[in-house]
Structure 1
Amino acid sequence: MGEKQGMKGYKLAIGLAIGAALLLPSAAGAAAAKPSYELEWEGGGQSSGTVIARGGVSYIAAKAIASEAGLAISWDVSKQRAQFDGWNKSFAVRVNSDRGVLDGKNTEIGGKPFVLNGELYLPVRFIVKALDGDNVKWNARTQTVTASGLGGYHARSETHNGLTFTVVTATGELYVTGESGESRKLADLGDTIYGAVKFAFYDSPGGLLHLTVTRNYGEPMIQYRVYTAVLKNGELIREAEAGYFRRFVDNATNGGGQLIVTDGRTLELVDDVTGRVAESYDLVKLGGEEDDYFVEGVGPEYLLIRPNDRGLLMLIDRKTGGKTLLYKELLDKLNQEYAETNDVPYFGDWLRFVRRDGDTLYFRNDAPIQQDNKLYAYKLPE
C-alpha cells in the first residue's frame, strides 16, 4: 500500500514537471515580447518598430519616422532642442520638457522626450498628432500601438537669388517662396512626383529668370518631363512643359538675346527685356516628323533641333525653313551608318553643339564608337 502511494506520488510529480515544461516556452515568449508600433501612412505603406514605455507613456525613435514623413531634423547649439521641418509642416521639442511647438503654436506633448544611445524618442501620440494622423490604439494582447492617416511632407527645393522653388512630392505642385516667407503656386507638374528632380537657373542680361525643372522617372528611369518658366521680378510670364522618352539632352536656354521656351512641339523665342514672344516656330512642321523635339541651339540664322525618336540633329534655316541633317555633312560613313541603324540605347547621332566662331559652328561627336574629342566644323551658308 505504501509502495503504491509512493508510486502515485512519483507519477504526480512527473506529470507536474511535464506540465510545467510545456508552459515554459509560452511564459518565456510572453516575457520576451516587447511593445511595438505599427503606423499607417496616408499615401500607403506602413512603419513599425519597438516602443519604450516610461511613466505610462509610449515613446518611439523619431529619426526613422521623420525621414519617412519627409522631415529634416536640426538641433540647436545646446543639443537640447530638436526642430522638425518639411513642406508646410514644422514642430519642435525640447529634451525632458513636456511642452513643444507644433505648426507655430505652443502645445503639450504628453510626455518628456529623451535621448537614448544617441536617438531621440518622442511620445507616440504626439508624433501621430504632429503628422496629422489619428486612430491611436493600444492592443494589450499583442502589446502594439497602432495609428493611421499619417501625412507626408516631402518636397524638393532649391534657392536662387532669394527665391526658393519647391516641388511638393505628394501633389506635383511647384511653388515659389520669397524672402518674406510667402509662398505661391507656379504650376502643377502632375500627380505624385517620382524619381529625380533637377532645377536649373539662367539669369538673362535683360533681368529675366529662365527656370527649368527636369524630372527623370519610370523604370528604368527612361521618362523625362521638362517644365520651363520665364519669370520677371518673381512673377511668372511664360511657361511650357515637354515630355521625352529614353533619349535626353538639355534644351538650350537662350540664343541671340532671346530666351528659349518649348513644349517639344512649338518653340517660342521670348524677348529678353519685355518677356513677350518675339517669334514662334512649329517644330513638327520644320522637322518633318510627328514627334517631340529638343532645341539644342538657336542663332540669328538657324535653329538646332532633334526629334526624340529618330534622333538626328537638324539645322533649320530660320529664313527659308530649309533643313540640313548635320550627321550627313560632318560624319564619315561608319558613323553615319551607326546613327541610322543602331538602336542601343536609341537611334540617332551623338553630335553635340559646342560653340560658334564667326560663321562656323563647331560640334563634338560623342558616339560610343568614336569619342575622339575632335571638333567638327560646319560653315553656315552665306
Structure 2
Amino acid sequence: MKRLKQVVAVIFMMSVLLPLGAKKSEAASKYVDLEIQWEDGRIAHIETLLKDGVTYGSFFSLGSGAGLLWEMEDDNTAILRSNEKRIVVHMGSTIAEVDGQEVDMGKEPVWYISHLYVPIRFLAAALDGEVVNRDTKTGKVTVTGLNNYTDTFYGSTMGYSYIIHAAKGDLEITNAYTGQKSTIPLGIKNMNVNTQDLNLNFKWTPKNLLIVIIEYSNRKTGVNDLYTLVFKNQGLIRKSVAHALMEQHEILKSDGTIQLIDDKNIRIIDDGSGNVLEVIPR
C-alpha cells in the first residue's frame, strides 16, 4: 500500500511538471530551417515550425523584423500593426485580417513553447513576400521579398524624445516630464525604409549647444541627405539641409566652431552664441 501511494505521488508530480498533451505536441511538431530574405537586403536564418505537413512562422518575430508593433488585443486576438500595415489573427480560426480584408490562412494559429505560429505562406504574403522554395529532404523553407514597414524613428537625450514619423517626415520633440510637444518641419519626402536608412545622432558642444544630426541615405548609392539642427536651451537657433552629399561632413570642428552645410553654402557658427561667423560658398 505504501509503495502504491509513492507511485501515485510520482505520477501526480509529473502531471504538474508536464501538462497532458505536451508530449503529443512535441511528437506532432518539429523545427526546420527558415531563410528570410528581406526587400531591404537583410537575410536571416531562423528555426520555424513544421506541424501536420504545414510550415509555420513566428507571428511576433517576423512582425518585429518587419518593423511592426505587436500586441494581444485579448486572449484570442493577436495584432501586428504600423501606419501602413495591420495583420490580425484569431486563435481557433483560420480567418485572418490583412489591411482590413479577410484572408483564409488554411490552418489555425498555433501556440507552441511560448511562441505564436501561423502558416508561413500566409504570413509571407501578408508582408508582401512569398515562399519560393521548400527542400523536400531537409524541410528548409526560403521566403523572399518581405517588406519593412518601420514608420517611426526615435532618439532621446536629456529628458526629451525626438521622433520622425515616415508619413509626415517632420521632427516631433516631446518633453518627457511635461509632455509638451513641438514640431520642426524637415520636408523629408517619399521615405522608403526598404531602400533608405535614417539615423538620428546627438552632439553637445563645449558651450552646451545641442546639435541634432539626421542622416537620410540611400544604402545602394551612398547618397546622403543631411539635416542639422542647433538648439540653445531647447530652442532651435539654426537649421540647415544639404541634399545628395557623397561624403561625410564634419559638423563640430576641433576649434570649437560649428559648420552647417546646405545646398549652396557652409556657415561657420560660433559655439555658445550661435552667431554666424562666416559664410563660405560651396
TM-score by length of 2: 0.55
Task: Write the distance in 1 (CA, Å) between the matches of 2:45 and 2:127.
Answer: 16
Residue aligning to 1:245: 249
Q: Does 1:128 align with 2:129?
A: no
CA offset digits 1:79-121 (Å, max 9, x no partner):
3211101341111111222111101111112211122222111
Task: Write the distance in 2 (CA, Å) between the matches of 1:297 and 1:265.
Answer: 21
Residue aligning to 1:257: none
Residue aligning to 1:188: 189
Q: Is the 8 A contact 1:225 1:241 kept in 2?
A: yes
Deviation at 1:44, TM superposition (A): 1.0
Q: Is the 8 A contact 1:93 1:99 kept in 2?
A: yes
The 5 A counterparts of 1:90-101 are 90-101=86-97
Structure 2: which amino acid aligns with 1:148? T
Structure 1: which amino acid aligns with 2:121? R
SS in 1 for 2:63: helix
Q: Does 1:146 align with 2:153?
A: no
The 5 A counterparts of 1:288-307 are 291-294=266-269, 304-305=275-276
Task: Write the distance in 1 (CA, Å) between the matches of 2:151 and 2:139.
Answer: 35
Task: Write the distance in 1 (CA, Å) between the matches of 2:60 and 2:262.
Answer: 46
Structure 2: which amino acid aligns with 1:55? D
Q: Is the 8 A contact 1:83 1:90 kept in 2?
A: yes
Deviation at 1:123, TM superposition (A): 1.0
CA offset digits 1:5-45 (Å, max 9, x no partner):
xxxxxxxxxxxxxxxxxxxxxxxxxxxx9522112111212
- Out of 63, 67, 70, the position equivalent to 1:70 is 67
Residue aligning to 2:3: none
Task: Write the distance in 1 (CA, Å) between the matches of 2:77 and 2:188.
Answer: 36
Identity %: 20
Q: Is the 8 A contact 1:224 1:245 kept in 2?
A: no
Residue aligning to 2:24: none
CA offset digits 1:37-77 (Å, max 9, x no partner):
1121112122222232223321122232122111110111x
Structure 2: which amino acid aligns with 1:102? V
Residue aligning to 2:75: 79
The 5 A counterparts of 1:39-58 are 39-58=36-55
Structure 1: which amino acid aligns with 2:189? D
Residue aligning to 2:133: 137
Structure 2: which amino acid aligns with 1:100? A
Task: Write the distance in 2 (CA, Å) between the matches of 1:295 and 1:88.
Answer: 43
| 1:216–1:157 Cα change, 3 Å | closer
Task: Write the distance in 2 (CA, Å) between the matches of 1:114 and 1:104.
Answer: 22
SS in 2 for 1:64: helix
TM-score by length of 1: 0.42
Task: Write the distance in 1 (CA, Å) between the matches of 2:100 and 2:170.
Answer: 21
Residue aligning to 2:169: 174
Deviation at 1:265, TM superposition (A): 5.4
| 1:165–1:110 Cα change, 3 Å | same
Q: Is the 8 A contact 2:251 2:260 kept in 1?
A: no
Q: Is the 8 A contact 1:60 1:121 kept in 2?
A: yes
Give the number of equivalent residue pairs.
Answer: 194
Task: Write the distance in 1 (CA, Å) between the matches of 2:123 and 2:59.
Answer: 8
Q: Is the 8 A contact 2:131 2:141 kept in 1?
A: no
Please provide the CA RMSD for this pair.
4.1
SS in 2 for 1:132: coil
The 5 A counterparts of 1:191-202 are 192-196=196-200
| 1:61–1:189 Cα change, 3 Å | closer
Q: Is the 8 A contact 1:69 1:153 kept in 2?
A: yes
The 5 A counterparts of 1:106-125 are 106-125=102-121
Task: Write the distance in 1 (CA, Å) between the matches of 2:102 and 2:169.
Answer: 30
